[in-house]
Structure formats: C-alpha cells, structure tokens
Copies of this chain bind each other. A is one copy, B any other.
Amino acid sequence: MTKKTQILVIGHNDDGCTPAHEKIAYEIGCEVAKSNCVLMTGGLGGVMKAAAKGSHDSNGLTVGIIPQDDPMHANEFCDIVIPSGMGLTRDFLTALSADGIIIVGGGSGTLSEICAAYMHKKPMVAIRNTGGAADKFIDGYVDHRKNVKIIGVDTAKDAVKKILELLHGN
C-alpha cells in the first residue's frame, strides 16, 4: 500500500490566529511529520502556515489546497500545492482530502470544513480551549445524526495519537 496517511489541520487564518494557536499548530505539524503522515492544510496563513512550518522543520511532507488558481498564493512551507481555483468552496476539498482532521480554533471557514468532514464521516479531534466556532461542538456531534464525535484533546501529541488510533485502531 503506497498511500500515506493524510492528516488535515484546520483553524484560524491570519485573522483570528493568536501566538497560542500558532504554537500548538506548529507542534501538531511536527507530530504529523514524525508520525510519517502527510500534512494537509488549506495552504494559507495562521494555523495553516504554522502547522506547515512545523511539518517542514521536521522533514515532513506538506500539501496546501488553496482557493486561488495560482500556486504562488500558498505559504512557503508547502511541498505540493493544489490551486483549486474554486474560491472558498475548496473547504469541501480540504475536508475530502483528509483521512483524519485536527482542529485548532477557527471561524466560519473552519466550521464549513468541519461540516463537510462530518457529512463524510471523517475522524476529528479538536484542541480544547482554543475557542472559535468549533468550540460549540467539541466532545459532541454537529447534528442529530451523530455521524462522528469531535473528540477534545489537550496536546499536539495527543491529537495525532488519537487520530491514528481512530484510523488504524491501537
């Protein structure tokens, strides 16, 4: 089996991202790389960029799926860029491209990715106390269907560990 495990990190873009969000996102990027998984992100700023830098600094492989149709809009830590050319509709594409998802705060864009992932039953964990729109759903379900529970975790290490458990058992 050639395909690597693809972990998507989502959360605040530049607007809304605090140093605390960046720190945990960076650590998650490092952990994803150390686990030999591919880091998937939306390829822009804030949490996306910090996670990509973490993966990059740990010799991981990072894919950025961006709204624009020109790869030059991606942050400088993406090894591979998918310039979707479909604007914010790319939020469904990032969600679909994930085997599992880690959430760090985030606003309406992050929430749309969570909804897309939820409808496609992707395993999701969220870092506790990072606020944002996602916070309303931590340790619970997005709707009455109870497709997948968004599991709260406290550290980057736990986030990646939990996703891998959910994907591959333990």
Give me the interface of A with B, judged by CB distance under 8 Å: 1-4, 6, 15-16, 38, 56, 61-63, 65, 69, 71, 74, 76-89, 91-93, 96-97, 99, 107-109, 111-112, 115-116, 118-120, 132-133, 136, 142-145, 147
Contacts and interface: CB of A to CB of B under 8 A. Distances in A.
Contacts of A2: 56, 62, 76-79
A158 B74 CA distance: 30
The count of identical subunits is 4
A147 B96 contact: no
A83 B96 contact: yes
A93 B119 CA distance: 17
Contact of A143 (B82, B99, B108): B108
